[in-house]
Amino acid sequence: MWSGGRLNCQYSPGMSEGTVMAQALYFTFVLSCLICGSHGLVSSGNGTTTVRSVDYIKTTTVTPTEKRDSTTKPNTTQSNKSTNAPEVRLTSTTTSKVLATTTRPPRTTTTANYSFNTEDLNEGIDKKVEKRVWNKEPEDEPLELECPPLGLESLRVKDTQLRASSYKRRGLGPHRGRLNIQSGIEDGDIYDGAWCAQYEDKKQWLEVDARRPTRFTGVILQGRSSIWSWDFILTYKVQFSNDTLVWQPAMNGTKEAVFEGNQDTETPALALFNESATVARYIRINPQSWYENGTICLRAEVLGCTLPDPNNIYAWQQTEQGTQDKLDFRHHNYKEMRKLMKSVTEACPDITHIYSIGKSHMGLKMYVMEISDHPGKHELGEPEFRYVAGMHGNEALGRELLLNLMQYICQEYKLGNQRIVRLVKETRIHLLPSMNPDGYEMAFKKGSELAGWALGRYSYQGIDMNHNFADLNKVMWDAVEFDFQNNDKSKLINHYIPIPEYYTSEDAFVALETRAVINWMQNIPFVLSANLHGGELVVTYPFDRTEDWAPRDDTPTPDNSFFRWLATVYASTNQVMSNPDRRPCHNENFQRYNNIINGANWHTVQGSMNDFSYLHTNCFDVTVELSCDKFPHASELPIEWENNKESLLIYMEQVHRGLKGVIRDKDTEAGIADAIIKVDDIDHHIRSVVDGDYWRLLNPGEYEVTVSAEGYNPSTRMCRVMYEHYPTICDFRLTKTPKQRLKEILAKGGKLPKDLQLRLRQLRLRKLRASTKAINSRRAAASRKARGS
């Protein structure tokens, strides 16, 4: 999900650049005040977990990481080959028209070398990398929580389970007192960033109804998420009840316990209760002191283990629905991810292949799991699909879903599940579970509930990778503007837009991880992709950047109807997104858009992977925001898998919609690479790959398709896309132009065939007649001019 600033300084979608700068300056000022102790607060500032106590109650405060040096340059020793694509000019020549038929595509074993070397996961991790990433200190391991969160952040706890003694207004009601909830653009709307009491006294409280007997073990607190306000709780008490009438305080020996709260608005502060914690149904958080220039505001999560109710004869109904799939549902750090991927390849060696596309700044490899019936090879006519997760390291759900997906496909393929078997045999699938492994390790060390909203989002160098790809939108729109002003289409391009030269220089601030993904895109002819994020529940589609730098504006691509179909396929099959009774995650109600939205109409993003993929390659890419909770607790993972399983599968199947075919030389039957495929009325072309095969994603309908290639006469066909899940085969055979044939024959030292000799004689005679006519016209004009004078 989009957010701003370093050090957990947040902003909301659509915020202006000036507002972001104002927030950054304000945040820097307040942080400096805190460090200097002007309000009696002290921050450790070293990025480590520190333990404090008030009345000997165990309280853990997780502080933000140190800000990275934004001037650090990335390692630019990585090759930048193949980053300058040739400029393409539009063609619209039309020749013969033939209607294509819809048939099931035949199997073929012709292959092209679109592959990376196999990774041997039996090899250990480089010792230098291991020392750099893992210091072997106790604080490097995430804190083990005895009981999971009740689910305020994940929305498992409903709004009706939250009450408060008072609240200022609806936007600051108890339903907003959820850990990591994000405020709207302006204070004062219905989507503010905390519960805030109406009165400033020690009698205010936020109450949570667990609905079942629960052994409460702790509370996590944050201050208010706000651009303009600075509100957080310094100390608080906790009470328990079974009926909301009689309340028992949390005790520390013979005295009522007072817990230490926050030192800023964003850093989560954990308080753990003693071993004799009370079993109850209700819990109240009762603030005792707060930031002196602020008011009583907080966001919270409650930790507790639910117990069976002996008085409930319907106890079986209390069991939460999980999943029947036997998968490894836990969070996997880099080492554990390697082990899991290795176990999948050992279980299914015939359909899996692990390779690395590069290394992170800290030296962690970016592993990809390939799944296909012929792993390591591109089969003629078989589309290439990819899922990318972990672009923002702290958005961990996508990472785990892809690890679950590779396990699931392996298991179901072995069991003979025909849907999975067909998908594996007809698609080459690539799964990149962690694009930002450095960021993930930072968040993982703090733990799912204590990482806050932004820790681990950026690369180790402080780069947001979803703003780090080349901005090809500007190149395209500048060309359109030039054409409009000069009536010159020579610079007009709509696909395979070359990467600007400045972006490929050694001084370009481009993350190594971004460079690796771009190289991956250029080496494998991907057709369809999705980029898995977290922190919201919505599917976004290109363009992600507005043309005039407006904060938000609907900016569709020429393929807008198909992108909307792709987004709808995922959103409508996702069990949470499609639930009409769900509440908004933070500050946008995407249900009014059917849970899909044009990316630029949410918030403008320069240099997104989706826009780059569409404008620089043949691949269509969307962003899936998977969950309100960026880093859900491990106990939530089985439910999240069930929520997303069907969506993940059906979205992959969309790679078989539209047209496919092979473009060949009519004389030699050799495939023609780099041929341009133009669909009439859609101002976005694609190109054929090395063996001449191509895939054009399209909705059902009848299309006029023109194919052109250098040295060949263009060819046009009518191709009809049907509603079946199989693509329409629309092959083309191109004939060489006489000039091209002449070049090839003369280059080989051969003799011209009679048809070419006759054609050449006709061309020369035609040229002679034209030149003679031009000379005679000039002489006649000169003669008339002389007589007139």
Residue 251 covered by a domain: yes
Percent of the chain with pLDDT over 70: 78
Same domain assignment for residues 276 and 379: no
Residue 109 covered by a domain: no
Nearest to 624 by CA among 599, 656, 605: 599
**Mean pLDDT for the chain overall:** 83
**CATH number for the domain harbouring residue 184:** 2.60.120.260
Same domain assignment for residues 590 and 676: no
For residue range 432-462, what is the model confidence (pLDDT) as tens digits?
Answer: 999 999 999 999 999 989 999 999 999 999 9
| Higher per-residue pLDDT: 642 or 765 | 642
Same domain assignment for residues 415 and 346: yes
When mean pLDDT is compared across 60-74, 411-425, 543-557, 706-720, the lowest value belongs to: 60-74
Q: State residue 751's pLDDT score.
A: 67
For residue range 664-701, what is the model confidence (pLDDT) as tens digits?
Answer: 999 899 999 999 999 999 999 999 999 999 999 999 99
**CATH number for the domain harbouring residue 737:** 2.60.40.1120
Report the side by side order of strands in the sheet with 384-389.
352-359, 365-371, 428-432, 384-389, 526-533, 620-625, 538-541, 596-598
Residue 202 covered by a domain: yes
Same domain assignment for residues 472 and 367: yes
625 counts as catalytic: yes
Nearest to 541 by CA among 474, 498, 479, 605: 605
| Higher per-residue pLDDT: 178 or 115 | 178
314: pLDDT strictly greater than 70:
no
Domain that holds residue 196: 159-309
Contact 140, 445 (CB under 8 A): yes
Same domain assignment for residues 430 and 569: yes
Q: State residue 323's pLDDT score.
A: 86
When mean pLDDT is compared across 300-309, 465-474, 563-572, 751-760, the lowest value belongs to: 751-760
Nearest to 499 by CA among 474, 477, 523, 465: 474
Contact 261, 234 (CB under 8 A): yes
Q: State residue 507's pLDDT score.
A: 85
* Residue of 260, 370, 400, 625 with catalytic role: 625
Token pair for 411:
């298991």
Same domain assignment for residues 237 and 371: no
pLDDT confidence of 318, banded at 50, 70, 90? very low
Neighbours of 239 (CB within 10 A): 19
Average pLDDT over residues 701-726: 94
pLDDT confidence of 320, banded at 50, 70, 90? low
Residue 320 covered by a domain: no
When mean pLDDT is compared across 152-161, 249-258, 532-541, 620-629, the lowest value belongs to: 249-258
Average pLDDT over residues 361-389: 95
Same domain assignment for residues 442 and 543: yes
Average pLDDT over residues 55-67: 38
Same domain assignment for residues 417 and 468: yes
**CATH number for the domain harbouring residue 354:** 3.40.630.10
77: pLDDT strictly greater than 50:
no
Residue 97 covered by a domain: no
Same domain assignment for residues 760 and 741: no
Same domain assignment for residues 205 and 340: no
Residue 642 covered by a domain: no
Same domain assignment for residues 672 and 760: no
Residue 490 covered by a domain: no
Q: Which of 275, 309, 343 is the last residue of a domain?
A: 309
Residue 75 covered by a domain: no
Global confidence as pTM: 0.81
353: pLDDT strictly greater than 70:
yes
Total domain count for the chain? 4
CA pair distance 602, 98, nearest whole angstrom:
42
Same domain assignment for residues 711 and 760: no
